[in-house]
Structure formats: structure tokens, C-alpha cells
Structure 1
Amino acid sequence: MHQVDMPADERVVERRQAAEFERRRRIFDARNRVIGLDVNALNRQVAERRDREERERQREMACDSLSIFMDQKFTERQREEEERRRQLAKELVQHRAMYQRAGDSRDADINYKHKGGPDASLFKPEPLGPASMQVFQGQGDGEIERKKVQMEMNERMLRTQREIQEKCQKKQKEKDLLKGLELIQQDHRAVQLDALEDECKKAALIALKSYNQAQAEERQERERQDKQRHADMDLAEVRCMMTSDLLTECPDAGLKDDMGSRVIPDRWKGMSSEQLSAIRRQRAEQCAEKERQRQLDKQLNLAWDQQQLGQARQQVEDDRMVRELERERRVQMDQYNQQLAREQAAHQQYLDNKLYTNRPTRRYFSQFNASSR
């Protein structure tokens, strides 16, 4: 494009105007003027927010997948339940068709009129003679009315049974719905428990690995110590055999007493009276020492019980004093809070009614910072 040669003064004016505009924009920006702009912190916040949104999206996707899985399970169970009910209804119909037919019932002759059977009015009884013996108990001229009353009673009973059955079916449907909701909650709880169990298993595996490593190190150290002890014992045994009476062939070996209490069985004649008296005297001293120790323990236990009783009484007294002090402190604090509330209410009333009566308008604030100079 063609470059237009502008006068120097106009370019200077435009440059000054642009600098003035930038300076005004920079000065009047309260955020940059007061706290500045931390680009790294803003970028970090943006990255954290994106990570948080990604985690929330993944969590929502997991929840949606879990919901879909639970809905599928619930639908499958509901379909299985409906199939089971359908099969039971079919088996019930087959059972009634095979074993509960209307013609096999005890009152089939009563229902003939309703089932399309022969009409009872077609069979007129013959006049009965004195020796006929054809009318028995429950038969006679009022048999039709009796059957009609009996049929009405049966219809009422069937209607009542149908209503009871409908109520039972309604209750059963409500129970099934509650059971399905409970199964959904149990599945959700099972998923949560499985996640917690997996975390616990991971932590247990890490702890088990650390424990096994520590056990292995301890076993290695113990084996090294055992090996060193066996080597020392073997060396001591070799040294003892080299300096023993068997190899040195000492003539006084039968009379030698190395340990102070070891005797030679083939030459020993029993203990002397001095040794027996020393043993009896030592036993008596041990009995007396044991009795003194028992008395001392009894006195110590008694003193300890007295001390514990005194400490318990002192603790009860201290607790009572602490409760009293706490109650007094709460009363003083309540009084102090009430006094502060009254003072703050009075101060707020003074501010609202006397001090802040002439509040500034928007026009008052608009006269400041109108220019960058």
C-alpha cells in the first residue's frame, strides 16, 4: 500500500494520545494497580480447575455407568420375577383345570343352571305316596329357594375372597417394590464396599510386603547369630576337650570338685551334719524372709489403697471446683456478652440515626479519577 507522509507534529500527537490511553487504562484498572497480575498463579489455577473438571467428569461417568448397571440388574430381576409369576399362574391354571374342575365339586348340581346344565325346573317331583320314602332331610318343596340363597352366599363369599386376594396382591406388589429399592441400595453399598475393600487389600499388601521384608532381614540376622553361636560353642567344646582330665590324665580327677556342688557318685558317702544344719538354717532364714516379704507387701498394698482412695476423693473435689468455676465463668461471659450486645446496638443506632445522616450520592464519587494526571 502507498505510505502517506504525515507531519511530525501529528505523529507525535497520536503517539502521545496512545500513550495517554494506555496509561489511563493501566492506572484505572484496580486489580493491576492494587494486587498486580500473577500469570503463573492464574495458569496454575486454570490447570487445577481443568483437572478438577476432568475428575468430576470421570466421576460422573462412573456414576452413570453404575446407574445403568443397577438399572439393568433391576430390570433383569423384575423380568425374572414377572416370568416366575407368569409360570406360577400358568401352573395354577393347569392345577385347577386338572384337579379343581367345576363338575367335580360338591355343589356342582347347584351350579348346573349357571353352567349350562339341565334346568332343575324341568324335573318335577312325582306325587309321593305314604310309603314312598323319597324325600329326605334337606329336600322338599323349598329346595330351589334354598339353592338360590346358597348361591347368593357363595357369590358373596367369592366376592369377599376376591377383594381379599386383590388387597394381598397390592400389598405384595408394594413389598416387591420396596424389596427392589432395597436391592438397589444394597448393590450400591456393595460397590462402595468393594472399592473400600480393594483399597484395604492394597494397603494390606503393602504392609505385608514391608512386614515380610522385615521378617526376612530379622531371619537373616538370627541365622547369622546362630551360626556364630554354634561356631563359638564348637570352639569352646574343642578347648574344653583339650584341657579336660581325660586327655591330660590327671591322677586326682576323682577327688576334684570344679563346680563346687558336683560330687563323685562312686565315692560319695552322704552329707555331713554341718551341711545338713546349714541347709536347715538356710531354709529357716528363707521362710522368715518370705514371711517378712509377705508382711511388707501387705503393708504396701494397704498404703497404696489408702493413697488411691485419697486421690479419688481429691479428684472428685477438684472436679466439683472445676464445674463451679466453669459455671461462674459462663455466667460472667453471658453478662459480658449481653453488655457488649447492648453497647453495639447503641453504637449502631447512633451511627444510623446521628452520624450517617448525609450519605454521599453517585455524583459525589464520579468527580474523582476523571483523568490520569
Structure 2
Amino acid sequence: MYCGLFWFNSESFSLWAEPSKTEKMYKVDLPVDPSVENAVKMRRSAETARRARIFNTRLRVMGLDLDAINQQVQEKKHHQNMEKQRDKAFDKLREYHGEALLQQDIDGREKRAALHTDLTKYWATHQRVEDTRDADLQCGLKGAFRITIPEDKLGPASMTIFQGEDIGEEQRRREQKKKTDRDLRAQKEDNERRLLGDKHRGLTVSCSPQAAEQTETLKERHWREERENLAEMQHTLTSDMMTECAEAAAREAGGGSLPLVLVDRWRGMTPEQLSGIHREREEQRLERQRQREGKKIQDAACELQLLKLSREAEEEESRAEELRRQKRIQTDRYNMQLAGEQQAYQEYLNKKLYTNKPSKDYFDQFNTSSR
């Protein structure tokens, strides 16, 4: 509430009159219009909101569309809810399929167990071991068919299994399989030969003059081969092939060339040939030794050259390292000089140039009003 100050005079009332000695001052509370106070509050709140809006860099530079942002938030929530519902539906479907597969597996096992039980019952009822032909041997005469004929009157034909029988059953089966394969292969080859014979007979019937001529040619060739074989046998028996003479294995060749060696009569080398081989081998050994010595000399020269080159490279590397060290020293000195100059300049700025720093009141005087 606002208060007004008035000076009261006994004779008259005067507003903002200069008081006299006889005047008295009284405090009077006058009613204030609430609309004026509300208008002032509204202006102050509007000014505060305007200042917050103008001095907010993000709102001033970028701007915000609250309706669009709220719509985006609602759409994002809607999409998230839809994804959650879809995931729940997929989870339920996966559980349903898993239960169905599990139930199917259980039913299959139960069905197989029932089939196995029925099969076992069938075996136990209709295919018993006691009912087989060899029940007296397999079951130890338990539940087997009893033969009423005495054993002393039974002959070898009444025996089922003999002692030592089926010891090599696996081997016998393999041999039977191999024999069957051989028989099949032989039958196949026999059929092929029979077909070829039939074909050949057909060709012979159709070409009888050519067949007669071919037969005469074969007979003549056979007679000539027999004559040559007999001549070779006679030559072998009458020649000096079986002798130990070395000259028998050599045969002179025309044109001044070396004598040929008959391999079927050769009985070893002569002393001259052996001495020639030894002499040539010694020459090869000496030549190989000279080559090894030359290789050693060449390797030593190469090692000396490599040692010289490596020494020169080390010296060059040491000189380059010394140059780099000198350059680093110069760079460090220059950097220290620059650092000193920079530090001196910074001290000059801080102690002499920038001595009158602005206070907080200096910055608070700005942006106090939006007008």
C-alpha cells in the first residue's frame, strides 16, 4: 500500500504546501487501485521473460519450435511403444514355436518307444530263441525240442554244428566275396570275348580271300622267326661269348672311330682303361681343389671389401650423428632464448600493461535491460 504525506492546517488544507511553524504533519493511508499494481506486476514479469528470451543465446540464435519438438517426442514414444509390442509378440511367437517343437519331439520319442515296445513283444512272442533250430545249442537244452531217438543211434547226418566249425568265418566270407567278384569279372570277360569272336567270325565270312592271304602271311612270318631263333642259338653255342677274353667284347668300327663294345660279351675293363679313369679322376680332384682355393681367396677379398665399406658407413653415421647433436644443441639454445623473451614479454603485459583489470561491477552494468 502506498502512503501519502500531507500537512494539516487549522484554517485550510493545502497539498504540497510549504509548512509553517503552526502546521502539523500527519500520515494518512489512502487506498490504491489494484489494477495499477497488477499492471506493474505484469510489465515486470513480461520484462523478465523478454530479458530471458533475448539474453539466451540458444533461443536467440537457433530458435525453438515447441510444438514440433513436442510432436517429435510423442512420435518417438509411439514408435518405442510399437517396438515393445512387436518384441512382445515375437517373444510369444518364439515361445509358441519352441513349445510346439518340444511337444513334437516328445511325441516322436513316445512313438518310437511304443514301436520298440511292440517290436520287443513281437520278438518275445513269435521269434524266440528257444524256437529256433539251434535252440539246443544256443540255450543249453532249455526249452528246446527234445529228440526221442537215442544219441548212440544218431549218425553224422544228424549233427548240426561240428567242433572247430566257423573259426574263420570272417575270412571265409571275405574269400567268398572275392571269389564272387572274380567269377563275375570272368563271366563279363567271357561274354566280351564271345561277342568279339562272333564279330570276328562275321568279318571272316565276309572277307574270306583276305583271311586266307593273312593266314599265309602269318605262317611265313612264324617260319622266319623260328629260323632266326635257331640261327641265334647256333651262333651262341659256337661263338666266344661265354669266354673271359676281353677282346671278344670289342668289335672294330669303320671310319677310324673307337671300337664298339658288345654288352652281351663284356667281361670288365682293361688295365689301360682303368688307369685312364684313375688319371682323369685325379685331374678332376686337382681341378676341384684349385677351384676351392680360388673361391676362398675371392671370399676373403669380398669380406675385406665389406669390412672396409662397413667401417666407412660407421664413420659416416657417426659424423651425421654429431651434426644432428650440434643441431639439437643450437635448437635448444634458440628455444631457451625464445622462451626467455616470451616470459619477459608476458611479465611486461601482466605487471605493467594490464594493471587496471575490470571488476565484476564493470561487466554487470551490461545487459541489465532489454530496451
Q: By the TM > 0.5 criterion, same fold?
A: no
When normalised by structure 1's length, the TM-score is: 0.28
- Structure ranking higher on relative contact order (CA contacts 8 Å, 6+ apart): 1
Larger proportion of strand: 2
Larger proportion of helix: 1
Q: Which of the pair has more CA radius of gyration?
A: 2
